[in-house]
Amino acid sequence: MKASVSEQPKRRRGAPRGPRQSDQNKKALIEAAEKLFIEKGYDAATMDEIASTANFAKGTLYHYFSNKEKLLTVMRKNFEKKVMERIRPAVEGCAENDWIGRIKAWVYSAVDAYFDMSDLHDVVIYGKGMPFRNTMVDAEITRYLAKLIDDGAKAGAWKIDDAHWTATIMFYSFRGSCDEAILGTQPVKDVPKKLNDVFMRILGI
């Protein structure tokens, strides 16, 4: 039996009419925030400016995100997703038993992603001014590398006692190498090969 008008749940004022529209609104607001955070910095950009850039009323922005910190948290998750959308297919496109090729694919795709999205990386990682270490406690990129190392060890490709520790060392080598290139201490084009050589030595290859 169809519910009467009075019995049907009321939709919140300003709420989206359906999941698809809701997703589109969130995407537009996040993209506007990314643009402004990159251009002006996290502290300088305002919620009013974010809503205006996305062509929404401020109330619509607050319907989805109560403050900039909530926005930044979602942006960080989206950033990790974008990075993994480049790394995972590259690694899994290698032959199942090509462990050296899989490590190389991780290196090359991670480096490309880092250079392509370095501005967004700096916003989502350093936006609130917290130490870098605090944002990498459970980062998917590091966990994925650790599993790759552990799986390779189980397959006999290399001998590693602690996959997590090894992945952490390799990850920070990756970050440091990319940052050095951005600072101009070495050519960007040389980073993937040099970094891959370091990873191979760490793995005892």
**What was the pLDDT predicted at 20?**
77
pTM confidence score: 0.79
Residue 22 lies inside a defined structural domain of this protein: yes
Q: Determine what percent of the chain is predicted with pLDDT higher than 70.
A: 85
- The pLDDT tens digits for 26-67 are 889 999 998 998 888 888 889 999 999 999 988 999 999 998
> Is 130's pLDDT higher than 70?
no
- Number of domains the chain contains: 2
**Amino acid, res. 61:** L
Place of tokens 């190389």: 104
Mean pLDDT for the chain overall:
85
Say if residue 55 is in the same domain as residue 95: no
Residue 120: pLDDT band (50, 70, 90) is: confident
Residue 186 lies inside a defined structural domain of this protein: yes
- Where does a domain end: 66, 83, 100? 66
Domain that holds residue 88: 75-202
